């Protein structure tokens, strides 16, 4: 008897020693309260409910409270993942000892015995590096943490966290995201068959992905139902009835409305808040885009491109701004999904042609000219550094003396060049910079040909400049 007593005491002392050894540097379970999982940011139109795009960075996660998750899905998850969840302290002791013995005899990790609480600990409290380790030490540390978590948090809190964190495949994290991914419905709208099919996916999300292997996912569902019968959640007859319920998969759609605008906004958000916050922070972004204006702009671009196709026109862009400069519509190409369609021509530098003339005349008016100032539309030439510049009007005609008003109304080239000469290239570049044009940098690089659009500007910036001009400069 004394020998048995010594062995028992030695065993207890060994367990205590192991506990303190493997408990070193473990994080406190209360860190769960500080845990912030990623949430998808959503970009909306100005009305606040037209979703333009959901940013999918690491995947899709839509948090949901436990009371919104059907009881059958909760029961199915418990039955297949941790049948003793409601009675164990966070660790299923018999399973742990069985797995420990199998791993010791095999010399490697061949059995897991992870409870729901242990899986949650692995996801939230362990470092990513430690969570990936396949070692007995990690399992022991995981088990100790699971017990501590079970002492701090209720079973409902643990189950709620688990069901919102676990990976279900197809970039879906949590039950709500999974329901939307596979069935295009909210988790509380699932039928019993769909709910029990979802419960079986976390064990091997890639293998059981119903989009890729529905028969295997259905086999897993049958296992889930059998476990529910064993756990007393349902009867065998109910299991058969549930298995017979229809499974109607709906391929997920990731629509992007106004794609060029969306990714313009995305880039602005990244510059302001950082990519991690935009991809993971669950931002709800209300933009200035007006769906009605956007639809009209897209229709106009499509119609005009159809008219101009015979003239070898290959692309077009439209920006609609409110008087205060808010972007109401942005069409960056005829077809976003076409080759090179992702290039946003509203942001790409392009020669503006005669579009700068109103600003040249605005600068001239600012210098003291009036709409009645006379300019001579006659053959003219300029020479600089041995280079002769001799512009012509579009129609090849000359109109003699004309008023500034007439020159602008008829988009005459020679009076515009003379007006720019009067204003001065440097002054004009500074003016355009004040209007928000960023492509004009060093004035010494430019000449009088600027009047006819020889230098590139971005359509978005040019439209903004016109909005400023309309507002009185």
129 Cβ neighbours under 8 A, 6+ residues apart: none
Give me the long-range contacts of 121-130 (CB less than 8 A, separation at least 24). Answer: 121/145, 121/146, 121/149, 123/165, 123/166, 124/31, 124/32, 124/35, 124/161, 124/165, 125/27, 125/29, 125/31, 125/32, 125/149
* Cα–Cα distance, 190 to 180 (Å, whole number): 10
Same domain, 235 and 373: no
- Is residue 341 assigned to a domain? no
* Cα–Cα distance, 159 to 148 (Å, whole number): 15
pLDDT of res. 257: 92
Please tell me the total number of residues recorded for the chain in this structure. Answer: 473
* Strands (DSSP E) found in 244-338: 284-286, 318-321, 327-331
Angle at 106 between CA 202 and CA 122, to 5 degrees: 35
- Is residue 292 assigned to a domain? no
- Is residue 18 assigned to a domain? no
Same domain, 239 and 357: no
Same domain, 218 and 69: yes
- CATH number for the domain spanning 201: value is 1.10.3810.10
Q: Are 81 and 116 in contact (CB under 8 A)?
A: yes
Angle between helices 357-366 and 413-423 (to 10 degrees): 40
List the chain pLDDT tens, one digit each, 473 residues. Answer: 555 544 555 455 555 555 555 555 777 777 788 777 788 899 999 999 999 999 887 788 889 999 999 999 999 999 999 999 999 998 987 666 565 555 555 554 444 568 999 999 888 887 667 667 777 777 888 888 889 988 999 999 999 999 999 999 988 999 999 999 999 999 999 999 999 999 999 999 989 999 989 999 999 999 999 999 999 999 999 999 999 999 999 976 667 899 999 999 999 999 999 988 998 888 999 999 999 999 999 999 888 888 877 776 666 778 888 888 899 999 998 888 777 788 888 988 999 999 999 999 999 999 999 999 999 999 999 988 778 899 999 898 999 999 999 999 999 999 999 999 999 999 999 999 999 999 998 888 889 999 998 899 999 999 999 988 887 76
Q: Could you tell me how many helices (H) and strands (E) the chain has, helices first?
A: 19, 11
pLDDT of res. 314: 64
Report the number of distinct structural domains present in the chain.
2
Angle at 134 between CA 92 and CA 78, to 5 degrees: 30
Same domain, 232 and 91: yes
Same domain, 70 and 205: yes
- Is residue 339 assigned to a domain? no
pLDDT of res. 216: 96
Same domain, 239 and 361: no
Task: Examine the fold and report which residue of 213, 243, 273 is the final residue of a domain before the chain moves on.
Answer: 243
- Is residue 457 assigned to a domain? yes
Q: Could you give phi then psi for residue 105, rounded to 5 degrees? A: -70, -30
- Is residue 313 assigned to a domain? no
Q: How many CB atoms lie within 10 A of CB 458?
A: 22
Task: Examine the fold and report which residue of 210, 226, 243 is the final residue of a domain before the chain moves on.
Answer: 243
- Is residue 370 assigned to a domain? yes
Same domain, 209 and 67: yes
- Is residue 263 assigned to a domain? no
Nearest to 266, CA basis, from 278, 254, 277: 278
Same domain, 235 and 365: no
Tokens of 76: 């199915």
The whole domain housing 142 covers 57-243
pLDDT of res. 111: 46
Same domain, 66 and 214: yes
Task: Examine the fold and report which residue of 243, 260, 291 is the final residue of a domain before the chain moves on.
Answer: 243
Same domain, 218 and 367: no
- Strands 400-403 and 374-377 come out as antiparallel
Active site residues: 81, 354
* Cα–Cα distance, 139 to 469 (Å, whole number): 68
- CATH number for the domain spanning 436: value is 3.40.710.10
Nearest to 347, CA basis, from 429, 439, 270, 274: 439
**Element of type H or E holding 122:** helix 116-124
Between the CA of residue 288 and those of 26, 41, 47, 254, what are the distances in Å? 48, 17, 9, 21
Same domain, 238 and 384: no
């Amino acid at each position: 008897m004394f020998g048995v007593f010594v062995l028992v005491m030695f065993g207890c002392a060994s367990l205590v020693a192991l506990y303190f050894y493997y408990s070193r540097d473990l994080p406190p379970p209360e860190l769960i309260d500080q845990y912030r999982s990623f949430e998808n940011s959503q970009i909306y139109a100005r009305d606040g409910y037209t979703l333009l795009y959901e940013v999918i960075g690491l995947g899709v996660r839509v948090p949901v409270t436990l009371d919104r998750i059907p009881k059958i899905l909760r029961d199915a998850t418990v039955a297949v993942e941790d049948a003793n969840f409601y009675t164990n302290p966070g660790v299923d002791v018999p399973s742990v000892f069985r797995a420990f013995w199998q791993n010791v005899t095999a010399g490697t990790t061949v059995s897991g015995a992870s409870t729901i609480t242990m899986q949650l600990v692995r996801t939230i409290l362990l470092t990513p590096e430690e969570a990936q380790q396949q070692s007995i030490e990690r399992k022991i540390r995981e088990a100790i943490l699971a017990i501590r978590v079970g002492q701090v948090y209720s079973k409902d809190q643990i189950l709620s966290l688990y069901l919102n964190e676990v990976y279900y495949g197809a970039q879906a994290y949590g039950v709500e995201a999974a329901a939307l991914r596979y069935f295009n419905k909210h988790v509380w709208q699932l039928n019993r068959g769909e709910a029990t099919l979802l419960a079986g996916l976390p064990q091997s999300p890639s293998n059981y992905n119903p989009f890729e292997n529905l028969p295997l996912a259905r086999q897993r569902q049958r296992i889930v139902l059998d476990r529910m019968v064993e756990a007393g959640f349902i009867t065998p007859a109910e299991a058969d009835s549930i298995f017979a319920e229809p499974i109607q998969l709906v391929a997920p759609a990731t629509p992007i409305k106004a794609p060029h605008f969306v990714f313009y906004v995305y880039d602005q958000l990244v510059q302001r808040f950082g990519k991690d916050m935009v991809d993971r922070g669950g931002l709800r972004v209300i933009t200035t885009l007006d769906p009605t204006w956007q639809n009209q702009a897209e229709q106009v671009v499509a119609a005009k491109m159809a008219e101009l196709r015979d003239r070898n026109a290959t692309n077009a862009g439209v920006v609609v701004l409110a008087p205060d400069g808010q972007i109401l519509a942005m069409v960056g190409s005829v077809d976003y999904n076409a080759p090179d369609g992702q290039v946003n021509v509203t942001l790409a530098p392009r020669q503006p042609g005669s579009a700068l003339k109103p600003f040249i005349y605005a600068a001239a008016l600012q210098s003291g000219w009036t709409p009645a100032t006379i300019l001579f539309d006659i053959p003219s030439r300029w020479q600089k550094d041995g280079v002769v510049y001799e512009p012509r009007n579009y129609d090849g005609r000359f109109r003699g003396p004309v008023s500034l008003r007439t020159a602008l109304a008829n988009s005459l080239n020679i009076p515009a060049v003379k007006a720019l000469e009067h204003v001065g290239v440097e002054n004009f570049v500074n003016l355009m910079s004040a209007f928000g044009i960023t492509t004009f940098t060093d004035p010494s690089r430019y000449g009088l040909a600027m009047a006819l659009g020889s230098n590139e500007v971005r359509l978005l910036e040019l439209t903004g400049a016109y909005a400023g001009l309309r507002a009185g400069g």
